[in-house]
Amino acid sequence: MLRTPIIICGCLFVLSGCVAEEESTPIIVYTHPIEINPVRPPDPPKPNPTTVYVDRSVPRSWYPPKRLERRWQAIIIHHSATSTGNVAKFDKQHREQHNWQGVAYDFVIGNGTDSGDGLVEVTFRWRGQLTGAHCKTPNNWGNEKGIGICLVGNFDYTSPTKRQMQSLVKLVRFLQKRYNISKRYVYGHGGTPGARVTDCPGRRFPMARLKSMIYN
Protein backbone atom coordinates (compact mmCIF):
# COMPACT_ATOMS: atom_id res chain seq x y z
CA MET A 1 0.00 0.00 0.00
CA LEU A 2 2.85 2.37 0.68
CA ARG A 3 4.40 1.90 -2.75
CA THR A 4 1.50 3.40 -4.71
CA PRO A 5 1.79 6.99 -3.47
CA ILE A 6 5.51 6.93 -4.00
CA ILE A 7 5.13 5.89 -7.61
CA ILE A 8 2.47 8.50 -8.23
CA CYS A 9 4.58 11.22 -6.71
CA GLY A 10 7.53 10.17 -8.76
CA CYS A 11 5.49 10.37 -11.94
CA LEU A 12 4.22 13.75 -10.99
CA PHE A 13 7.78 14.86 -10.33
CA VAL A 14 8.92 13.64 -13.73
CA LEU A 15 5.97 15.24 -15.50
CA SER A 16 6.52 18.52 -13.77
CA GLY A 17 10.20 18.45 -14.69
CA CYS A 18 9.42 17.90 -18.40
CA VAL A 19 7.02 20.81 -18.48
CA ALA A 20 9.53 23.10 -16.82
CA GLU A 21 12.21 22.42 -19.45
CA GLU A 22 9.85 22.71 -22.50
CA GLU A 23 10.01 26.01 -24.51
CA SER A 24 6.92 28.12 -24.13
CA THR A 25 4.67 28.42 -27.19
CA PRO A 26 4.89 31.93 -28.79
CA ILE A 27 1.74 33.98 -28.59
CA ILE A 28 0.71 35.71 -31.85
CA VAL A 29 -0.93 39.06 -31.34
CA TYR A 30 -2.90 40.54 -34.25
CA THR A 31 -2.85 44.33 -34.51
CA HIS A 32 -4.08 46.90 -37.03
CA PRO A 33 -1.51 48.00 -39.64
CA ILE A 34 0.47 51.11 -38.67
CA GLU A 35 0.17 54.07 -41.05
CA ILE A 36 3.43 56.00 -41.51
CA ASN A 37 3.10 59.52 -42.83
CA PRO A 38 5.63 60.39 -45.55
CA VAL A 39 8.50 62.56 -44.36
CA ARG A 40 8.49 66.07 -45.88
CA PRO A 41 11.83 66.82 -47.51
CA PRO A 42 13.72 69.76 -46.02
CA ASP A 43 13.43 73.13 -47.69
CA PRO A 44 16.34 73.97 -49.98
CA PRO A 45 18.82 76.42 -48.46
CA LYS A 46 18.04 80.04 -49.13
CA PRO A 47 20.64 81.80 -51.27
CA ASN A 48 22.91 84.23 -49.52
CA PRO A 49 21.96 87.87 -50.14
CA THR A 50 23.98 89.47 -52.91
CA THR A 51 26.23 92.41 -52.17
CA VAL A 52 24.89 94.32 -55.16
CA TYR A 53 21.83 96.41 -54.41
CA VAL A 54 18.82 95.76 -56.66
CA ASP A 55 15.74 97.99 -56.56
CA ARG A 56 12.78 96.72 -58.59
CA SER A 57 11.03 100.09 -58.38
CA VAL A 58 13.50 101.93 -60.61
CA PRO A 59 13.74 101.75 -64.41
CA ARG A 60 15.91 98.99 -65.81
CA SER A 61 17.83 101.60 -67.79
CA TRP A 62 19.35 102.86 -64.53
CA TYR A 63 21.26 99.59 -64.23
CA PRO A 64 24.44 99.47 -66.31
CA PRO A 65 25.54 96.27 -68.07
CA LYS A 66 27.10 94.00 -65.45
CA ARG A 67 30.11 93.17 -67.59
CA LEU A 68 30.97 96.88 -67.85
CA GLU A 69 29.94 98.16 -64.43
CA ARG A 70 32.50 100.29 -62.63
CA ARG A 71 33.06 100.99 -58.94
CA TRP A 72 31.86 104.54 -58.65
CA GLN A 73 32.87 106.57 -55.60
CA ALA A 74 31.00 109.88 -55.78
CA ILE A 75 27.94 111.64 -57.19
CA ILE A 76 28.32 115.13 -58.67
CA ILE A 77 25.31 117.39 -59.27
CA HIS A 78 25.18 119.98 -62.08
CA HIS A 79 22.74 122.38 -63.66
CA SER A 80 22.66 122.99 -67.39
CA ALA A 81 22.72 126.79 -66.90
CA THR A 82 20.09 126.92 -69.65
CA SER A 83 16.33 127.33 -69.43
CA THR A 84 15.69 124.42 -71.80
CA GLY A 85 17.41 121.28 -72.97
CA ASN A 86 17.58 117.51 -73.05
CA VAL A 87 20.13 114.79 -73.74
CA ALA A 88 19.94 115.16 -77.52
CA LYS A 89 20.53 118.93 -77.41
CA PHE A 90 23.38 118.74 -74.91
CA ASP A 91 24.94 115.90 -76.87
CA LYS A 92 24.97 118.00 -80.05
CA GLN A 93 26.28 121.06 -78.17
CA HIS A 94 29.10 119.18 -76.47
CA ARG A 95 30.19 117.51 -79.70
CA GLU A 96 30.21 120.73 -81.71
CA GLN A 97 31.48 123.22 -79.13
CA HIS A 98 33.90 121.06 -77.13
CA ASN A 99 34.75 118.29 -79.58
CA TRP A 100 33.79 115.72 -76.94
CA GLN A 101 32.42 112.23 -77.63
CA GLY A 102 29.00 113.52 -76.74
CA VAL A 103 26.97 114.70 -73.76
CA ALA A 104 29.21 115.11 -70.71
CA TYR A 105 26.90 113.60 -68.06
CA ASP A 106 25.63 110.18 -67.08
CA PHE A 107 22.06 111.33 -66.37
CA VAL A 108 19.98 114.38 -67.33
CA ILE A 109 16.76 115.30 -65.48
CA GLY A 110 14.29 117.33 -67.53
CA ASN A 111 12.31 120.39 -66.45
CA GLY A 112 9.32 119.97 -68.76
CA THR A 113 10.63 121.97 -71.72
CA ASP A 114 12.42 119.64 -74.13
CA SER A 115 11.78 116.53 -72.03
CA GLY A 116 9.30 115.60 -69.33
CA ASP A 117 9.34 117.41 -66.00
CA GLY A 118 11.36 115.12 -63.74
CA LEU A 119 12.12 112.67 -66.54
CA VAL A 120 15.49 110.96 -65.99
CA GLU A 121 17.32 110.44 -69.28
CA VAL A 122 20.18 107.94 -69.31
CA THR A 123 23.11 108.85 -71.56
CA PHE A 124 25.51 106.79 -73.63
CA ARG A 125 28.20 107.35 -71.00
CA TRP A 126 26.24 105.51 -68.31
CA ARG A 127 25.17 102.72 -70.64
CA GLY A 128 28.78 102.20 -71.67
CA GLN A 129 30.23 103.00 -68.21
CA LEU A 130 32.52 105.57 -69.83
CA THR A 131 34.56 108.29 -68.16
CA GLY A 132 32.57 111.52 -67.93
CA ALA A 133 33.43 115.03 -69.09
CA HIS A 134 31.56 117.01 -66.45
CA CYS A 135 34.02 117.71 -63.62
CA LYS A 136 37.72 118.17 -64.28
CA THR A 137 39.89 117.58 -61.20
CA PRO A 138 43.51 116.60 -60.53
CA ASN A 139 44.11 113.11 -61.96
CA ASN A 140 40.64 113.45 -63.54
CA TRP A 141 39.15 111.81 -60.45
CA GLY A 142 35.85 113.70 -60.78
CA ASN A 143 35.19 112.27 -64.23
CA GLU A 144 36.59 108.79 -63.68
CA LYS A 145 35.04 108.07 -60.27
CA GLY A 146 32.16 110.55 -60.08
CA ILE A 147 28.68 109.98 -61.54
CA GLY A 148 27.51 113.16 -63.28
CA ILE A 149 23.85 114.18 -62.92
CA CYS A 150 22.63 117.33 -64.69
CA LEU A 151 19.31 119.03 -64.00
CA VAL A 152 17.96 121.18 -66.83
CA GLY A 153 17.65 124.81 -65.71
CA ASN A 154 19.67 127.80 -64.58
CA PHE A 155 19.59 127.65 -60.81
CA ASP A 156 21.36 130.96 -60.38
CA TYR A 157 17.93 132.47 -61.10
CA THR A 158 15.35 129.74 -60.52
CA SER A 159 15.01 126.60 -58.41
CA PRO A 160 14.58 123.02 -59.60
CA THR A 161 10.99 121.93 -60.07
CA LYS A 162 9.35 119.72 -57.49
CA ARG A 163 9.41 116.77 -59.87
CA GLN A 164 13.06 117.33 -60.68
CA MET A 165 13.93 117.17 -57.00
CA GLN A 166 11.81 114.06 -56.48
CA SER A 167 13.55 112.31 -59.35
CA LEU A 168 16.97 113.51 -58.20
CA VAL A 169 16.44 112.17 -54.68
CA LYS A 170 15.27 108.80 -56.01
CA LEU A 171 18.20 108.55 -58.41
CA VAL A 172 20.81 109.60 -55.84
CA ARG A 173 19.47 107.18 -53.25
CA PHE A 174 19.53 104.36 -55.78
CA LEU A 175 23.15 105.14 -56.69
CA GLN A 176 24.14 105.49 -53.04
CA LYS A 177 22.89 102.01 -52.20
CA ARG A 178 24.17 100.46 -55.40
CA TYR A 179 27.72 101.73 -54.90
CA ASN A 180 27.80 102.29 -51.13
CA ILE A 181 28.29 106.05 -51.50
CA SER A 182 27.70 108.11 -48.34
CA LYS A 183 26.22 111.62 -48.49
CA ARG A 184 29.70 112.91 -47.72
CA TYR A 185 30.60 112.06 -51.31
CA VAL A 186 27.54 113.65 -52.90
CA TYR A 187 28.76 117.01 -54.21
CA GLY A 188 27.62 120.00 -56.15
CA HIS A 189 30.02 120.65 -59.02
CA GLY A 190 31.57 123.67 -57.30
CA GLY A 191 31.99 121.75 -54.03
CA THR A 192 33.84 118.80 -55.54
CA PRO A 193 37.40 118.56 -54.17
CA GLY A 194 39.86 119.87 -56.76
CA ALA A 195 37.19 121.19 -59.14
CA ARG A 196 37.50 124.61 -60.72
CA VAL A 197 35.74 127.54 -59.10
CA THR A 198 32.13 127.58 -60.27
CA ASP A 199 28.65 128.32 -58.96
CA CYS A 200 27.32 125.12 -60.55
CA PRO A 201 24.77 123.72 -59.75
CA GLY A 202 23.63 127.30 -59.14
CA ARG A 203 23.27 129.61 -56.17
CA ARG A 204 19.61 128.66 -55.72
CA PHE A 205 20.11 124.93 -55.85
CA PRO A 206 18.97 123.47 -52.47
CA MET A 207 22.03 121.34 -51.67
CA ALA A 208 21.35 121.30 -47.93
CA ARG A 209 17.79 120.09 -48.55
CA LEU A 210 19.04 117.40 -50.90
CA LYS A 211 21.51 116.16 -48.28
CA SER A 212 18.67 115.95 -45.74
CA MET A 213 16.62 113.73 -48.08
CA ILE A 214 19.23 111.16 -49.06
CA TYR A 215 20.94 108.34 -47.19
CA ASN A 216 23.76 108.96 -44.74
User: What residue type is 73 in one-letter code?
Assistant: Q
HEC letters along 145-184: HEEEEEECCCCCCCCCCHHHHHHHHHHHHHHHHHHCCCHH
Domain CATH for 204: 3.40.80.10
Give the pLDDT confidence of 106-144 residue by residue, as tens digits.
999 999 999 999 999 999 999 999 999 999 999 999 999
Q: Is residue 33 part of a domain?
A: no
What is the span of the domain harbouring residue 194? 65-213
Q: Is residue 158 part of a domain?
A: yes
Q: Is residue 131 part of a domain?
A: yes
CB 211 within 8 A of CB 185: no
pLDDT at 12 over 70: no
Q: Is residue 134 part of a domain?
A: yes
Q: Is residue 175 part of a domain?
A: yes
Q: What is the pLDDT of residue 22?
A: 42
d(CA 56, CA 35): 48
Q: Is residue 125 part of a domain?
A: yes
Q: Is residue 12 part of a domain?
A: no
Give the pLDDT confidence of 28-50 residue by residue, as tens digits.
444 455 454 544 444 444 444 44
Among 76, 78, 87, 81, CA closest to 110: 87
User: Could you give the number of structural domains in the chain?
Assistant: 1
pTM summary value: 0.76
Q: Is residue 100 part of a domain?
A: yes
